[in-house]
Amino acid sequence: MSIKFVEVYDRSKDHRIYFNPENVEAVSIEWTEKKDYSQTIHKVFIYLRCGHTLICETNDDGKNKILKALEGN
């Protein structure tokens, strides 16, 4: 069994987070009304099946990466 983790840069804490998209129960995305050059910044809440929540701030590219990883699940 191969586990494929998704890597996303968290702007608020200046580090990267990794998660397994197969363990995601739900995702909530808020627009922060901030911009980084031409991209908008979003606060993303990733709710895992185990009960934990990952919270990060990411740009449009990171948001799209998360949503694309969850499409197949």
Domains along the sequence of the chain with CATH: 6-71 (2.40.50)
Q: How confident is the model at residue 14 (pLDDT cuts 50, 70, 90)?
A: very high
pLDDT band at 40, cuts 50/70/90? very high
Residue 3 has pLDDT above 80, yes or no: no
Model pLDDT, residue 21: 94
Query: From CA 32, how far away is CA 41, in angstroms rounded?
Result: 6
Q: What is the per-residue pLDDT for 1?
A: 53
Residue 37's alpha-carbon distances to 29, 57, 63, 66, in angstroms, are: 20, 15, 16, 21
Residue with structure tokens 């993303």? 44
The structure's pTM equals 0.87
> Can you tell me the mean pLDDT for 24-33?
95
What percent of the chain stands above pLDDT 90? 81
